Amino acid sequence: MYKTILVHVDGSPQQDSRLRAAALLANEHEAHLVGSAVTGFSWRSYALLAGSMGGGMLTEDFEALRRTAGAQLEQFKEQAARLGVQSLEARLFEEEARYALLLQSRYADLVVVSQDSAPEAAPATPVPDLPEHIALRGARPVLVVPDNYRGQPLAGSVVIGWDGSMQSIRAIQAALPLLQRADTVKLALVNPHELSELHGEEPGADMAVYLARHGVPVDVVVERTAVGAGEVLLTLARDSGAGLIVAGAYGHSRVREWALGGVTRDLLECASIPVLLAH
């Protein structure tokens, strides 16, 4: 079960949908919900920046950032209480959101963030690329929530992307508390013959048995297609009325950054339902 859930708090329009998802899980699992807001700068970084720009109202400006973040946390507490969350706390970090969430995620079972808005959407997500940053660099699973989420059940029907990888195994393990509550779970394999050494003679059979032993009602779906795996998962989720997609988060390192794999990018950019990712 999830006992500590961390949710990003920034006062943006996207906050409503991700907080609904976080509150739903907190209520179902009797979990403690932690709302994290940030000033955007550490005091040291802000002082260095202000110094390079000629000083000015340093203390007053930084306090204004703290007041803004504090107001966002008050809003979070009010909304979470309205959504029925019984155990919650608000944390203010004098840091940038990526660093603060990575640090705090060490002590949570799940991190809840918003899907990046489309480039033409307004307003855009205040911290772009936040979902992939937390998913690829963090130690905990990440639930990525689209703007259109309004509190629908997450675990009624679930689609899992299974390719035999360590990332997929970690995602399935992280999602077990949800999978065990699901009515139906589709274990989807896309072109498993291309990775036959990971799947064995009957692709999906061993993982299906593993899930069944954990009380998960699982069906294996094998797709052989020229269409990308991300698109296959999105289509299967739409056709089956799924409320959640579970998948491994993939990336490859470049100089001082991460580049997303194609499946992960498709899910983050195009999913109209929440996606649980683990790397």
- Is 150 inside a domain boundary? no
Domain end, chosen from 145, 179, 204, is at 145
Q: Is 235 in the same domain as 167?
A: yes
Domain end, chosen from 119, 145, 171, is at 145
Q: Is 244 in the same domain as 174?
A: yes
Digit-by-digit pLDDT tens for the chain (279 residues) are 899 999 999 999 999 999 999 999 999 999 999 999 999 876 566 666 666 555 554 677 778 889 999 999 999 999 999 999 999 999 999 888 999 999 999 999 999 999 986 544 444 446 778 999 999 999 999 999 999 999 999 999 999 999 999 999 999 999 999 999 999 999 999 998 876 677 777 899 999 999 999 999 999 999 999 989 999 999 999 999 999 999 999 875 543 333 445 788 899 999 999 999 999
Q: Is 100 in the same domain as 209?
A: no
Total number of domains constituting the chain = 2
Q: Is 12 in the same domain as 112?
A: yes
Tell me, what CATH number does 43's domain have? 3.40.50.620
pLDDT, position 254: 46
- Is 151 inside a domain boundary? no
Residue span of the structural domain in which 250 resides:
157-278
* Short-list 186, 185, 177, 117, CA closest to 145: 117
* Separation between Cα atoms, residue 147 and residue 16, nearest integer Å: 8
- Is 197 inside a domain boundary? yes
* Short-list 204, 212, 266, CA closest to 235: 266
Q: Is 39 in the same domain as 73?
A: yes
pLDDT, position 171: 97
pLDDT, position 63: 85
Element (H, E) at 175: helix 166-179
Q: What is the pTM of this model?
A: 0.90
Tokens of 278: 């683990």
Domain end, chosen from 124, 145, 166, is at 145
Q: Is 262 in the same domain as 194?
A: yes
